[in-house]
Amino acid sequence: MAVAEILEFLMILSFGISWPMKVVRSYRSRTAKGTSVTFTILIAIGYVCGIASKFMTHTFNPAFWMYWPNIIFVTTDIILYFRNKKLDAEADKK
């Protein structure tokens, strides 16, 4: 494995460690306040582009496999954003 592939893997791994913590925080907080869904969507787009580049170059190295849990957690966080936004709206009605 080349140094560039190792560095890419470590980058994706470091991001991947953060996302489960973010999802748990989003779930427990039950609020969308202070969350930027635009930022999260842009990150998701970046992961999709990374996955697409791996398919285009047929580079199915360890970094390729780390993109998948990351995109799943980011997508989960986006879904939780909309759930929390709905909960915020219900709380504001009361």
Segment-wise mean pLDDT, segments of 10 residues, the chain, 94 residues: 91 92 96 95 96 96 95 97 97 89
**Could you say which DSSP state residue 30 is in?**
-
Please give the pLDDT value at position 1: 76
Please give the pLDDT value at position 34: 93
Please give the pLDDT value at position 94: 80
81's tokens: 């954003």
Please give the pLDDT value at position 41: 97
91's tokens: 């709380």
Provide the H-helix boundaries in 2-61. 3-29, 37-57
Please give the pLDDT value at position 8: 93
- Distance between CA atoms of residues 23 and 30, nearest Å: 11
